[in-house]
Amino acid sequence: MSMVLIAIATLLTIAMIGAAWVTIRAKKVATAMLAAGLVSLFASVMFLFLAAPDVAMTEAAIGSGLTTFLFFFVLGRVRGGSDD
C-alpha cells in the first residue's frame, strides 16, 4: 500500500473524527447536522478508496445529501430547534 493512500486515509480519519466530535459537541443543532453530513461525505470519499464506488455514490447521495436535507427540513419546523 502506498504511503499516499495511508496518508489520505489518515487525513480522512482525522477529518471524520473531527467532524463527529463537532457533531456531538456543537452548540447549535444546525452545526451538528452539518458536521454529521460532513462525516458522511468524508466517509463516501473513504469508500472510493476502499474500492466501493457504488457505496460511495449512495453514501454521498443519501447519507450526506438527502439525510442532511431532511434534518434541515425538520429543524426549520421546530422553531430553530435550539438546545432546550
- The C-alpha atoms of residue 36 and residue 53 are separated, in whole angstroms, by 21
By CB under 8 A, tell whether 7 contacts other proteins: no
By CB under 8 A, tell whether 62 contacts other proteins: yes
- The C-alpha atoms of residue 53 and residue 67 are separated, in whole angstroms, by 19
By CB under 8 A, tell whether 45 contacts other proteins: no
By CB under 8 A, tell whether 18 contacts other proteins: no
As measured in angstroms, the least distance from the Cβ of 77 to other proteins is 5
Q: Which three cell numbers stand for residue 37?
A: 453530513
By CB under 8 A, tell whether 76 contacts other proteins: yes
Q: Is 25 left (phi over 0), alpha (psi -120 to 50) or beta?
A: alpha
Chain centroid to CA 21: 11
Contact between 34 and 72 under an 8 Å Cβ cutoff? The reply is no
As measured in angstroms, the least distance from the Cβ of 11 to other proteins is 10
Residues that bind other proteins (CB under 8 A): 1, 5-6, 9-10, 12-13, 16-17, 20-21, 23-24, 29, 32-33, 36, 39-40, 43, 46-47, 49-59, 61-63, 65-67, 69-71, 73-79, 81, 83-84
